[in-house]
Amino acid sequence: MYDTQGDIQLYIEKKIKGLLEDPMNEYQDPNWVQAATLFKHVVVPCENYRYESLYALAKDITTESELHNNKVVYQTISGMYNQKVIDLNDAIEDCEVFKYDSLIDTIKKWMMDYKNQY
């Protein structure tokens, strides 16, 4: 059973890391948002997933999010149903700023729990 759990943890880690490192296009959520969301839903609830490699991955996610102040600016494209991600400095009309502070805070809490446990 321990081998299976390790395989599952490694698979999850690879998928999250792949999201974080994958080149994104401007019509999808930024990689750090996707990686943080998956981490929150798959790793945080599992108390037995307390590995140094996951801690390092959580640190990479939070570092990347802090580079963007935990925010993403989405611009609505006229005549299209979707939005694209733009730089905060380029924000004009038809833009929405989404703050991902609570998402990142969840991961930071997991990191603190990890450090306190080990």
Q: Which SS3 state, helix, strand or coil, does residue 115 take? A: helix
Angle of CA points 54, 102, 8, to nearest 5°: 25
Q: pLDDT grade, residue 67 (50/70/90)? A: very high
Write the Ramachandran bin of 90: left for phi over 0, alpha for psi from -120 to 50, otherwise beta.
alpha
Give me the number of domains the chain comprises. Answer: 1
| Averaged pLDDT, 55-65 | 95
pTM: 0.81
Query: Hunting for tokens 């990347």 — which residue is that?
Result: 64
Residue 51 burial (10 A CB sphere; 0-12, 13-18, 19+):
middle
| Averaged pLDDT, 50-65 | 91
Domain that holds residue 55: 2-117
How does pLDDT run across 12-25, given as a tens digit for each residue? 999 999 999 988 77
Count other C-beta atoms under 10 Å from residue 61's C-beta: 29
21 contact partners, CB below 8 Å, separation of at least 6: 31
